[in-house]
């Protein structure tokens, strides 16, 4: 979720308020009133780039700040995003975007969560 992508998503919010619920959210630690990362969908369900892999699905990603990694925040945020999308639009197909330099230990757990919820 780099600066270019974030500014593109910000312009989407300005152009189309219906897109806003599908964009970036804060991962927060309520007990400390801290932001520990970001998570969000890359757009509304059924994006053109997903047609081949997950028709009608949602792509999402997350970034947990280094000092907060390996504490379950990414998994919890992923669960929350998928649950929200399932309740909101009934989507059960998800694609997790992982930056090449990210150690994606949580990706297997997210896959299991997604597969279990779809069955």
Q: Tens of pLDDT along 6-62? A: 555 555 555 677 777 888 899 999 999 999 999 999 888 888 888 888 888 999 999
Q: Is the pLDDT of residue 107 over 70?
A: no
Residue 52: count other Cβ atoms within 10 Å of its Cβ.
7
Whether residue 4 is predicted with pLDDT greater than 70 in this model: the reply is no
Looking at residue 53, its pLDDT comes to 81
Phi/psi zone of residue 11: left (φ > 0), alpha (ψ -120 to 50 degrees), beta?
alpha
Is 98 in contact with 61 (CB distance < 8 Å)?
yes
Strand blocks (E) in 45-111: 58-64, 94-96
Per-residue tokens: 117: 């919820």
What pLDDT, on a 0 to 100 scale, did the predictor assign at position 119? 46
118: helix, coil or strand?
Answer: helix
């Amino acid at each position: 979720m780099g600066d270019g992508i974030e500014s593109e998503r910000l312009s989407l919010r300005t152009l189309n308020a219906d897109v806003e619920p599908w964009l970036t959210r804060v991962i927060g630690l309520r007990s400390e009133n801290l932001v520990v990362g970001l998570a969000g969908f890359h757009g509304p369900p059924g994006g053109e780039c997903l047609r081949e892999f997950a028709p009608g699905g949602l792509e999402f990603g997350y970034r947990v700040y280094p000092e907060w990694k390996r504490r379950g925040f990414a998994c919890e945020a992923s669960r929350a995003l998928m649950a929200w999308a399932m309740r909101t639009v009934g989507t059960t197909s998800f694609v997790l975007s992982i930056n090449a330099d990210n150690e994606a230990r949580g990706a297997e757990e997210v896959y299991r969560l997604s597969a279990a919820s779809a069955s």
